[in-house]
Structure 1
Amino acid sequence: MEERFPTLREGVRHIVWDWNGTLLDDNHANLAAANHVCALFGRPPVELEEWRRIFRRPLVPFYEELLGRPLTPEEWARLNTAYDSHYRNLLPSCRLADGALETLHTWRGAGGSQSLLSMAAHDHLVPVITEHGLVPHFTRVDGRRYDTDADSKAEHLVDHLAAQDIDPATVVLIGDIDDDAHAARAAGARAILVSTGLMSRERLEETGHPVADSLGEAVRMLLA
């Protein structure tokens, strides 16, 4: 009997999951870290909905626009360190997104494979994934192992799939910002974006990729 796999318009067998804002509900920690940076540089705080309307990659020009002036390399390093330190202090308060575990089990039970790719630093990411007991769900876990001029997930996704010998045409990336959509398109994969993370639904819809309001809905699109 021929083995059947879940499909999205045919052919999808593998999900690459994003972490921050997708499987991990950390909007409050990201916003608090951003406002810590704003305070350091004399900028009024931003509300979550404003942040979801303006956040983007690459990060350096985004923060220069947010703060209203260019940043020297030394200031960018200070900003980056301040953000990361504040975020990590709040990380214990972050929980998995609603339905995350059930959704991972659903996809595996349907015969699909899945991996995780994040723009968080690899050495920081792996202990967190391990602490949540998620490693057995994934064929591979990758954080950011190097920096790129474009500051995009695209090159990282290409390497992530090549390391597993996975055909991009069989892949959907599920993430929460438009860079996830751009990365999938650049790698020859597809994307579904979830509206629960750091970017507004309207901006996600502008990418032309499907947008779901929950992790469960995203996977149901693949199983339909």
Structure 2
Amino acid sequence: MFRNFIFDWSGTLVDDLPPVLEATNHVLSIYGKPALDREEFRRVFRLPYREFYEEMLPGVPLPELEVHFRQAFAGSKSPVTILPHAREKLEWCKQHGVRAFVLTSMDSESFKKQLVDLGLADFFEATYSGVLDKRELILEIISKHRLVPEETAFIGDMTHDIDTARHGKLTSIAVLTGYTLAGPLSESRPDLTVPDLDALRRFVGRPGWRPRPVATVGALLHDGKGKLLMLRTHKWGHRWGIPGGKIRRGESTEDALRREIREETGLEIDRIRFVIVQDCIDSHEFLRPEHFLLLNYVARVKSGEIVLNEEAQDYRWVTPAEAMGLDLNRPTRTLLVEALNQGVIEHPV
């Protein structure tokens, strides 16, 4: 039960990336460094930001850089706006009696001005700004406000926010609306990842919300000639596995399987055979802690050419023996062994 939310500010509740990028490039230009584009900035920027500047401008004192940055940020014409669904989420917290706080690295003067200008000041019990390393303050906040860690979540858009939540033994919730790209953010293994705060509101629903196991389908695909299709994906730590995904409400398991195979590979399947159901609870191989119920099948590729979507980075057709030699995720290896034991993988006549 979440009774308390600690929010990051930039990239979580407000979009200040345009003026931050503009000010950062101004600082870099002073020292003869090339400008960063938006995607490159999101890829390399990190908190505590002193580490970012030590890498980009080694040897330059941080107070000197902060003076240049704040002048450029204050003079930027790029607007700072409330992110979509942020106000609605804060109103939801107020309506349900969920205590809300802010912990941000933004300098206090700029933060307080934004807080008032955007009309968000009344939503928070307390705010903490100008914090270079949030891990150094999170335990004090928990103690001062008598927050129960099991009832508290830290919500942010950067890996440092996930590290801060972990340091305070809080639930970590990552939002994909801010500074850090989804791939690097997933590597920090947040407890929950949402595309935006509206999705979080819908997922949580009410203070008594608890996550439930997620039912999924997946299939070991073969070509009827002794070869198996294996995919490599960042979701499973760049290990090899099988295509599959979540079952939608009102969708049969086989319909879900056909849809997921089609979406992830472009292939159509037939001769679907159920093999095994597996529990996969907070696997360290998966990109985030999650409880899956894996309904695993074997199926033959009927038609189509392989076209991978964004979930997979590579594929191979291999024999069962070759598959055993790959760096398979554990559920796929279990499925492969069980399919071989049951004799349901088709071989050429």
TM-score range, shorter chain: 0.7 to 0.9
Report whether the alignment pairs 1:83 with 2:64.
Answer: no
SS in 2 for 1:43: coil
Unaligned ranges ≥5, structure 2? 210-349
| Bigger proportion of residues as strand | 2
Structure 2 CA distance for partners of 1:16 and 1:98, relative to 1, 3 Å: same
String of CA shifts for 1:176-211, please: whole Å, max 9, x gaps.
100000001001111111111111011111111122
Native 8 Å contact 1:144 1:156 kept in 2: no
Native 8 Å contact 2:54 2:60 kept in 1: no
Report whether the alignment pairs 1:218 with 2:206.
Answer: no
Report whether the alignment pairs 1:18 with 2:19.
Answer: no
Provide the aligned length of Structure 1 versus Structure 2.
Answer: 205
Q: Map 1:2-151; keep pairs closer than 5 Å.
A: 11-67=1-57, 70-73=58-61, 76-90=62-76, 93-144=79-130, 151=132
Greater alpha carbon shift after TM alignment, 105-114 vs 180-189: 105-114
Unaligned ranges ≥5, structure 1? 1-10, 146-150
Which residue type is aligned with residue 28 of structure 1? Answer: P
Which residue type is aligned with residue 34 of structure 2? Answer: P
| Bigger proportion of residues as helix | 1
Q: Map 1:167-206; keep pairs closer than 5 Å.
A: 167-206=148-187
Structure 2 CA distance for partners of 1:165 and 1:211, relative to 1, 3 Å: same
Native 8 Å contact 1:161 1:167 kept in 2: yes
Give the TM-score normalised by structure 1. Answer: 0.84
Give the C-alpha shift of residue 165 in structure 1. 1.6
Native 8 Å contact 1:178 1:207 kept in 2: yes
Structure 2 CA distance for partners of 1:157 and 1:90, relative to 1, 3 Å: farther
Native 8 Å contact 1:13 1:170 kept in 2: yes
Native 8 Å contact 1:100 1:215 kept in 2: yes
Structure with bigger gyration radius = 2
SS in 2 for 1:114: strand
Native 8 Å contact 2:6 2:155 kept in 1: yes
Report whether the alignment pairs 1:156 with 2:137.
Answer: yes
Greater alpha carbon shift after TM alignment, 198-207 vs 130-139: 130-139
Give the TM-score normalised by structure 2. Answer: 0.55
Structure 2 CA distance for partners of 1:58 and 1:140, relative to 1, 3 Å: closer
Q: Greater RCO between the two (CA within 8 Å, min separation 6)?
A: 1
SS in 2 for 1:15: strand
Which residue type is aligned with residue 213 of structure 1? Answer: P
- Percent identity at matched positions? 27
Provide the aligned C-alpha RMSD in A.
Answer: 1.9
Which residue type is aligned with residue 64 of structure 2? Answer: R
Give the C-alpha shift of residue 218 in structure 1. 2.3
